[in-house]
């Protein structure tokens, strides 16, 4: 099969999957399980392709205000990381947990020690960073994915702390690992200060992330 034909077929499969998601009434026996190998040759565009437990999730380029919040969080984490020299904050990295679990979170923070073991030759992370940050998109489907589907994945894979940014409420939800599971411990609003036991002396006013 030529590369052009392969690309055409994969593009068709993605379109078919999106159609099935919009008209979902299929049984588990008819479920298509996607792997990272299926992503090779997908069209390079503004779409984000993620696989969680074999399910393909396709999202469009985020809203500009979404990216503003993501950028602000990453800037704060990078500034602290440069001062502390304890790790690195990365914007939208690819994380490959397994053949059927591959995601692109908005921001992660990884310690120097863990980075040495997780980074592969292609520049992807191959395991859980200590901190993952997702900023909610506007649709209820996307919010549910971040608060439920991705929460379960990050919990199972060993993420230590998970932040969810809600730009509509101007709040940061904090999930921390307790007894082996990520649990919501608090919600911070604009008058609060964001800190973390992972990041010694890190402090950031929540308000600055949404300005």
DSSP for 97-129? EETTEEE--SEEEEEHHHHHHHB-TTS-B-S--
Mean pLDDT taken over the chain: 89
pLDDT band at 17 (very low <50, low <70, confident <90, very high): low
Choose among 86, 191, 96, 78: nearest CA to 153: 96
Question: Where exactly are the structural domains of the chain?
Answer: 3-59, 64-209
Residue 72 scores a pLDDT above 70: yes
105-116: pLDDT as tens digits: 999 999 999 999
Using an 8 Å Cβ cutoff, are 209 and 165 in contact?
yes
Answer whether residue 157 shows pLDDT above 50.
Answer: yes
| Lookup: tokens for 70 | 């993501």
Please tell me the pTM assigned to this model.
0.85
Instruction: Give the count of beta carbons closer than 10 Å to the beta carbon of residue 2.
Output: 7
The CATH homologous superfamily to which domain 64-209 belongs is tt1808, chain A (3.90.1570.10)
Say whether pLDDT at 136 is over 70. yes
Q: Is the pLDDT of residue 40 over 50?
A: yes
């Amino acid at each position: 099969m030529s590369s052009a034909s392969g690309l055409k077929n994969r593009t068709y499969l993605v379109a078919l999957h999106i159609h099935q998601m919009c008209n979902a009434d299929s049984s588990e026996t008819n479920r298509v399980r996607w792997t990272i190998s299926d992503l090779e040759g997908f069209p390079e565009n503004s779409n984000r392709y993620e696989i969680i437990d074999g399910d393909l999730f396709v999202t469009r380029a985020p809203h500009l205000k979404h990216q503003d919040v993501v950028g602000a969080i990453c800037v704060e984490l990078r500034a602290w990381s440069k001062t502390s020299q304890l790790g690195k904050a990365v914007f939208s990295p690819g994380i490959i947990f397994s053949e059927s679990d591959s995601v692109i979170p908005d921001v992660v923070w990884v310690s120097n020690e863990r980075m040495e073991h997780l980074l592969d030759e292609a520049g992807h992370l191959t395991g859980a960073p200590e901190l993952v940050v997702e900023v909610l998109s506007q649709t209820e489907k996307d919010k549910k994915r971040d608060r439920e589907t991705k929460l379960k994945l990050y919990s199972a894979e060993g993420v230590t702390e998970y932040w969810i940014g809600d730009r509509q409420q101007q709040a940061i939800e904090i999930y921390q690992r307790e007894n082996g599971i990520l649990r919501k411990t608090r919600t911070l609003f604009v008058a609060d200060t964001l800190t973390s036991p992972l990041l010694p002396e890190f402090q950031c006013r929540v308000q600055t992330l949404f300005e």
